[in-house]
C-alpha cells in the first residue's frame, strides 16, 4: 500500500469517529418515599403506579367478591382472597338441592396468581354448583354463604345464577367484560358489577391482604391451614419482579438488571419483607430485602420497605422507598 493511500484511509477513519455521537451516562430517577394507610385492620386495598408516584385508586376490601377475567378470550373466575374466601364444588345435582355446607371440600385461589389453580377452576367442563364462603370482614364477622352456577362466557360477557344458600335472593346475572382491566369485579352484597381495578396500564402493584398457604403444614403432615397475610401483589399485565438481597440499596444501578431473574408470580413481592417479633409484639421490616420491578411501561425501579407503622404507632401502614434505575 502506498503512502498516499494509507494516509487517505487514516483520514477517513478519523473523520468517521468525529461524527459519532457519544452515549450519555444513564441518569437514575429521584429517590421517593411514600406510604399507604391500609388501616390497623387492613380494611383498604390500593393500586399504585410507580411512574407517577400515585395511588390510582383504593377501596374497602369488602367491596367485591368475584373477579371475572376480562379480554376476548377471558374465562377464569377469581375469589377476593383478601376476605379469606373459599369455594367448594358440588357435581351433578340441582341448584335448589344445595342448601348446606356438609361434607364440602374447600379450595382457595393460589397466591402466585396461576390461572390453573383458582378455587373455581374449570367451571365449563361439567355440571357444577359452587358454594361460596364469602369469608370475613375486617371486624372478623362472617359474611355468609352463596351458591352459584356459572352458565356461559362469550367474548363480551359472563352469565351465572346466584342465590343465598337457603335459596333466597335467587338471581340471574350478566357481567359485561371490560377490556381495560384485568378483572371485572362483582359484589354479591349488591348483586352488581363494581368499579375496583383501574385500567391495567395505569398501575403496577397493589397493597392488599391475600391468602397464603405455608408449606410447613404439609411438611408436618398437618391439615391445610391457609392464612391471611398483608403485603403487595403485582399487576399481572406485564409487571415482573426480581429479588435482590445481596447488595446495598444505594449501590444498585441499572447495570445490575441484566443479571437478574424476573418472576411474573403476582406474589413475588408478597408479605415477607417484614417479620413479627413475638417478644416485642410488633413487626420488624427487613430493609435489606430489595425488589427490582419491571413496570407496565417496561421501566425498572428498585424498591424496599422501611416501616409498617404510621406516626401514631398503628400497624398497617407500609412505608416504602423506590427509585427508577
Name 205's bridge partners. Answer: 48, 234
Residues 309, 54: Cα–Cα separation, whole Å: 20
Give the residue among 248, 232, 240, 256 at the shortest CA–CA distance from 287: 248
Give the residue among 180, 199, 171, 203 at the shortest CA–CA distance from 47: 203
**Tell me: the pLDDT tens digits for 147-195?**
999 999 999 999 999 999 999 999 999 999 999 999 999 999 999 999 9
Asked if 253 and 244 count as a contact pair (C-beta separation under 8 A), the reply is: no
The C-alpha cell that represents 39 in the structure block: 388501616
Q: What integer is the mean pLDDT of 268-283?
A: 93
Confidence tier at 28 by pLDDT (50, 70, 90): confident
* Per-residue pLDDT at 84 exceeds 50: yes
Query: What's the predicted TM-score (pTM) here?
Result: 0.89
Q: What integer is the mean pLDDT of 126-141?
A: 96
* Per-residue pLDDT at 18 exceeds 50: no
Asked if 32 and 321 count as a contact pair (C-beta separation under 8 A), the reply is: yes
Looking at every residue in the chain, the average pLDDT score rounds to 91
- For the chain, the structural domain boundaries read 32-59+201-324, 65-194
CA distance readout (Å), 5 to 2, 12, 18, 223: 6, 11, 20, 85
Q: Which residue has the higher pLDDT, 279 or 77?
A: 77
Q: What integer is the mean pLDDT of 15-37?
A: 69
* Per-residue pLDDT at 242 exceeds 60: yes
Confidence tier at 74 by pLDDT (50, 70, 90): very high
Residues 238, 242: Cα–Cα separation, whole Å: 14
* Per-residue pLDDT at 104 exceeds 90: yes
* Per-residue pLDDT at 19 exceeds 60: no
Range scoring the smallest mean pLDDT among 206-220, 238-252, 253-267:
206-220
Give the residue among 129, 115, 119 at the shortest CA–CA distance from 84: 119
Q: Which residue has the higher pLDDT, 29 or 124?
A: 124
Residues 107, 143: Cα–Cα separation, whole Å: 17
The C-alpha cell that represents 35 in the structure block: 406510604
CA distance readout (Å), 233 to 134, 162, 208, 270: 21, 29, 7, 6
| pLDDT at residue 287, rounded to an integer | 96
| pLDDT at residue 50, rounded to an integer | 98
Amino acid at each position: 500500500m502506498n503512502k498516499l493511500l494509507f494516509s487517505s484511509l487514516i483520514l477517513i477513519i478519523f473523520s468517521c469517529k468525529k461524527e459519532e455521537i457519544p452515549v450519555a451516562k444513564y441518569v437514575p430517577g429521584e429517590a421517593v418515599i411514600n406510604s399507604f394507610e391500609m388501616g390497623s385492620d387492613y380494611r383498604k386495598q390500593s393500586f399504585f403506579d410507580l411512574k407517577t408516584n400515585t395511588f390510582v385508586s383504593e377501596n374497602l376490601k369488602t367491596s367485591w367478591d368475584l373477579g371475572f377475567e376480562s379480554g376476548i378470550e377471558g374465562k377464569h373466575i377469581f375469589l377476593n382472597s383478601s376476605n379469606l374466601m373459599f369455594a367448594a364444588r358440588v357435581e351433578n345435582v340441582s341448584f335448589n338441592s344445595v342448601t348446606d355446607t356438609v361434607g364440602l371440600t374447600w379450595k382457595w385461589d393460589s397466591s402466585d396468581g396461576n390461572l390453573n389453580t383458582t378455587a373455581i377452576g374449570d367451571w365449563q367442563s361439567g355440571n357444577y354448583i359452587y358454594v361460596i364462603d364469602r369469608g370475613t370482614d375486617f371486624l372478623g364477622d362472617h359474611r355468609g354463604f352463596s351458591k352459584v352456577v356459572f352458565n356461559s362466557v362469550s367474548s363480551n360477557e359472563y352469565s351465572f345464577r346466584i342465590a343465598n344458600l337457603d335459596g333466597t335472593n335467587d338471581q340471574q346475572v350478566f357481567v359485561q367484560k371490560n377490556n381495560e382491566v384485568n378483572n371485572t369485579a362483582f359484589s354479591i352484597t349488591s348483586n352488581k358489577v363494581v368499579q375496583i381495578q383501574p385500567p391495567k396500564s395505569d398501575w403496577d402493584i397493589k397493597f392488599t391482604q391475600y391468602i397464603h398457604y405455608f408449606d410447613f403444614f404439609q411438611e408436618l403432615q398437618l391439615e391445610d391451614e391457609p392464612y391471611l397475610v398483608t403485603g403487595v401483589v403485582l399487576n399481572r399485565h406485564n409487571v415482573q419482579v426480581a429479588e435482590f438481597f445481596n447488595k446495598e440499596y444505594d449501590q444498585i444501578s441499572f447495570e445490575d438488571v441484566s443479571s437478574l431473574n424476573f418472576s411474573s408470580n403476582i406474589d413475588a413481592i408478597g408479605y415477607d419483607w417484614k417479620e413479627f417479633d413475638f417478644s416485642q409484639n410488633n413487626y420488624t421490616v427487613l430493609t435489606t430485602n430489595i425488589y427490582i420491578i419491571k413496570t407496565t411501561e417496561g421501566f425498572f425501579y428498585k424498591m424496599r420497605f422501611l416501616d409498617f407503622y404510621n406516626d401514631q404507632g398503628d400497624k398497617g401502614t407500609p412505608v416504602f422507598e423506590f427509585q427508577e434505575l
